[in-house]
Amino acid sequence: MRPELLMLGVGVALLFLYRRQQTSDWLSPSFHISEFTQWMGKLAPPRAVPLDVYTNLVRLARVLEVVQAAAGKKVRVVGARSGWRPLDIADPGVNAGEHTAGLAADIVIDGMGPWDIRDLLEQLMRAGRIPPGGIGVYAPAPGLSGDRMVHYDLGASRRWWGDTTPHFSYPNRPGGYA
């Protein structure tokens, strides 16, 4: 083989690897890996994400694309602990749950309240457009001026919310758990 062709082939291969590296940080058209890998304001390097967690984050981002399309507004992954929580820095007592596996995100959707987001998620689940999973409504996320965040995960189907005052309580859901 001629040296110039060999060099051209190596150059094309390097360009392909470079482009792949640059685009692989996008989990889906709308969600970058950085949205799911922040921990208390610090960004975990994307290459530090284990392959199984990365695969789960891609699944989760694709599901959130469906939610975003149905809402017609940007879904934002929020909270001090974002989507993925590595076991070595997760909250004390946290087991290998959905966040530590890259299967969960705490979200807000601009212009929608948490109960509207919860209803949208349940509607999409019933219609078979997104997989059944866990939904929880939590107190305001740090730094979001009073927005309540909604937890969604691809784990077992269950419901919960932290606020059980009469305004947020529902029949047949004692203690705020459904």
pLDDT in tens, 164-174: 332 333 333 33
- Mean pLDDT value across residues 81-93: 65
Distance CA 76, CA 171 (A): 30
Highest mean pLDDT among 63-67, 76-80, 144-148: 63-67
Domains of the chain in start order, with CATH, are 25-176 (3.30.1380.10)
| Pair of tokens at residue 141 | 């996320």
DSSP string covering 5-35: HHHHHHHHHHHHHHHHHHHTTBSSSS-BGGG
- Mean pLDDT value across residues 77-93: 67
Identity of residue 80: A
Among candidates 167, 158, 61, 154, which has minimal Cα distance to 114? Answer: 167
**What does the DSSP 8-state code read for residue 92?**
T
pLDDT value, residue 90: 57
What is the pLDDT confidence band of residue 82, given thresholds at 50, 70 and 90?
A: low
How many residues are listed for the chain in this entry? 178
Instruction: Report whether pLDDT(12) > 60.
Output: no
Instruction: Report whether pLDDT(103) > 50.
Output: yes
Among candidates 65, 67, 83, which has minimal Cα distance to 153? Answer: 83
Torsion sign, CA atoms 45, 50, 51, 56: negative
pLDDT value, residue 59: 96
Cβ–Cβ under 8 Å, residues 53 and 42: no
What three-state secondary structure class fits 135? strand
pLDDT in tens, 33-62: 888 887 656 666 655 788 999 999 999 999
pLDDT value, residue 141: 52
pLDDT value, residue 88: 65
List strand residue ranges (DSSP E) for 96-162, in order.
104-109, 134-140, 148-153, 158-161
Residue 28's alpha-carbon distances to 106, 139, 154, 176, in angstroms, are 17, 28, 17, 33
Angle of helix 114-126 relative to helix 51-71, nearest 10 degrees? 100
What is the pLDDT confidence band of residue 13, given thresholds at 50, 70 and 90?
A: very low
pLDDT value, residue 97: 72
Number of Cβ within 10 Å of residue 146's Cβ equals 7
